[in-house]
Amino acid sequence: MTGLRWHPLGSVTGYMKEARQFGKENNLDIVAIRRTPGIIQAGFVSRSDGVTKGMYSLAATLAGQLGDSWIAAWRIDQDEDRFAVVAVHKGGIIPGCDLIGTEAEVRRRVAQQRSRGIEFEDWYLPPEFEMGGKPVEIDELLHPSKLKREYRLRPLMFGLSKAELAQLVVLALVITAGLTGWMQWKGYQNRIELEARLAAEQQRLEELARLQEESGVEQPLQALEHPWAKRPSVASFVTGCSKVMYQLPLNIQGWAFANAQCDGSQVLASYKRSGNSTAAQLIAATAGHFSDRPAFFEEGNAATLKFDISLPAAGDEPLVEAIDALANLSSWLHGFAQEPTLQEVAVVMPQPAALPGEPAPPPPPPPQWKKFELSYVSAILPYDSLMGAPSQGLRLREIKTELQSGLLMWSVTGDLYAK
């Protein structure tokens, strides 16, 4: 039986009671229990999922023979696209890695574990995956002589059986207080680690789903490692900022426009008080037109108005060779009499955080792409100079405008990613 919902149990003496409570809360009435020196774990399934008497848990059976750290995948039907995958780390079956799916689904699940930096001691993978490792001898592992009672699925019942009561008495007489405390602490640590891994994986999946929804295109897992995938496109950035910045009045009840800047999430516009204009007049005139009340500074003689915007992520895209990307972008801007600065900057990959109970992971490898900072100042509107520009790998960071001698000057900063 595959597809069990694996959950760590924290109680050494009352783990069956904990399992019954979890099953009751989640409408699950069949369980397989795994006990190792470091963890107690239960795999749950519903009787309505086709469970029959005498079934064994596939993941528990393999975990009982292959050890505490491995991942295995294999074809289960030579005539159909059906593969199985099971993974165990630190003695615990990884949630979501006890399933049957298509080759693409199982490949993706194996790649997810590798991208999370888990160092399995053994990799049992089919040659067609081209991920290394060696094939698993599944028929030998599932031979009837290898199937133990502890791998079998059993129904969850309310209350304790006589056998369980006897076991509790014996356990209470044998296990010392120190050993009990150690086991509880170890189980707690393993449970926290598994929950942290599960939460991290869920966060990754949610972020990937958000990217797919905002971009409207299915995104690969690698998109989460590419900073340009999570930022708005040039067209979206320019359009979103322009809709607000171009409509800012140059004067509001005697308050004169000074400058404005847009970073893709908000537009901040600064105004200066002139004549006998007052803060009360500015508050009344802008009420309902901006995201917040004006913020005053310079002893009440200047104010900032904020307008929140929301721009969708562009998603992942292939990058252009650096020499071509730089030539194409600079040539386009030179055609508008711009003098852009494109300077390569060092790329610092974020260090993955260590999970509970784990040592700090090794530093990530250097990226296979380069980053160039773009900046220029012009009197030409960004909408005119950037719409239609070669923007593959280009992401804007800020558009700013400042009133100078009656003329609006526009400054643009961004990042160009290239191979």
Cα separations (Å) of 54 from 42, 44, 71, 144, 151?
17, 16, 26, 12, 10
Structure tokens belonging to residue 416: 């160009």
Residue 160: per-residue pLDDT: 47
d(CA 315, CA 222): 11
d(CA 151, CA 410): 69
Q: Rounded to two decimals, what is the model's pTM? A: 0.53
Tell how many helices (H) and how many strands (E) occur in the chain.
10, 17
Residue 193: per-residue pLDDT: 67
With beta carbons less than 8 A apart as the criterion, state whether 247 and 321 touch: no
Residue 405: per-residue pLDDT: 87
With residues binned 3-state (H G I as helix, E B as strand, rest as coil), the percentages for the chain, rounded to 5, are: 35, 30, 35
What DSSP state is assigned to residue 320? P
Residue 201: per-residue pLDDT: 63
Q: How many CB atoms lie within 10 A of CB 263?
A: 16
At residue 408, what is the residue type?
L
User: C-alpha angle 303/378/265, rounded to 5°?
Assistant: 45
With beta carbons less than 8 A apart as the criterion, state whether 403 and 250 touch: yes
- How far from each other are the two terminal CA atoms of the chain, in whole angstroms? 46
Instruction: Kindly list the averaged pLDDT for each block of 10 residues, start to end, along the chain of length 419.
Output: 88 84 87 87 87 84 92 91 93 90 91 82 92 90 90 72 58 67 68 67 70 74 82 96 95 96 97 95 95 95 96 92 96 94 89 67 82 96 94 96 93 97
Residue 157: per-residue pLDDT: 67
Residue 167: per-residue pLDDT: 65
All residues at 6 or more sequence positions from 31 whose CB lies less than 8 Å from its CB, including other chains: 19, 23, 42, 43, 44, 45, 153, 154, 155, 156
- Kindly list the strands in the beta sheet with 40-45, ordered across the sheet, starting from the edge strand earlier in the chain: 5-9, 40-45, 30-35, 154-155
Residue 95: per-residue pLDDT: 87
d(CA 63, CA 69): 9
Q: What is the CA radius of gyration of the chain?
A: 30
Residue 158: per-residue pLDDT: 46
All residues at 6 or more sequence positions from 54 whose CB lies less than 8 Å from its CB, including other chains: 152
Determine how β-strand 70-77 pairs with β-strand 341-345: unpaired
d(CA 344, CA 326): 10
Residue 217: per-residue pLDDT: 73
d(CA 86, CA 106): 10
Complete domains list, the chain, with CATH: 5-211 (no CATH), 236-308 (3.30.1360), 312-348+364-418 (3.30.70)
